Amino acid sequence: MLSASKPILAPTSLTAMAIRLPPHAPTHYALPHRRTPPFRSIARAAPSPSTTSTAVSLPPSPKKVLVPIAMGTEEMEAVILAGVLRRAGADVTLASVEDGLEVEASYGTRIIADKSIAACANQEFDLVALPGGMPGSVRLRDNEILQRIMVRQAEEKRLYGAICAAPAVVLMPWGLHKGRKITCHPSFIGDLPTFRAVESNVQVSGELTTSRGPGTAFQFALSFVEQLFGPHAVEDVHSTLVCQNKLCTSLFCIMPFSRLDYFL
């Protein structure tokens, strides 16, 4: 039996209780060394050009059309050309070959052009279309800047056209009718080469389109809508013109032929 007066474990000092380390051991413990993983960039690659181009699509630029006018231009042909093509979405410029922007048309209507023909000299157009009328056609023919624009238009195989007197009075002296079938106002049809002259309301021959007069001006303008924008555009524009006969592309389709003769 153990004596109660004698403790089981004799108390020892704090120094005796301390863990004794060998003399060569360090007095502190360092955390185990961990290998740092190689640096990996988290930057993402820039999108490829094809991705960027598909994300942002720019609207196509409108077709540019030039309609030159002069003193004595046939007002119906000039205004119908500009109005119909603008309805289709074309960027139409009425350009005066006179000193000022305001011209008096063949039947007294005053038309104010957008700019002078000189301001258009170095521009590129998808279409240049000449209205007729007298003496407007002669004044168009005598303008050297317009002649250079038209010749360049034909040489670069872009669309060009003329109506009424302009095919015979303007295009022929400039040589822009060669190798093409061509029509014009009945009063000038005898001036055309016999083997090239036709009597259709609208004649498309390559890049050249010609027509006969005010009564065929809508057909003339709509033929350019089709050439520039396609047949669906013609249907859209045609519906806004309220033609009663869908097969006819002229508002004059509702008039008797006896009255049509006045405009031709």
Q: Which residue out of 120, 164, 184, 243 is catalytically annotated?
A: 164
Are 97 and 235 in contact by the 8 Å Cβ rule? The answer is no
Contact 162, 170 (CB under 8 A): yes
Structure tokens at 245: 């006969």
Is-catalytic flag, 243?
Answer: no
Cβ atoms 229, 88 nearer than 8 A: yes
Largest CA distance in the chain: 154
Here the tokens at position 123 are 């521009």
Beta strands at 102-104 and 110-112: parallel, antiparallel or unpaired: antiparallel
Q: Quick one: which of 241, 239, 199, 200 has its CA closest to 218?
A: 241
| Closest to 86 in 3D by CA, of 232, 240, 214 | 240
- Bridge partners (DSSP) of residue 103 are 111
Query: Contact 141/99 with Cβ under 8 angstroms?
Result: no
Secondary element (H or E) of residue 127: strand 127-130
Among all residues, which ones are annotated catalytic? 164
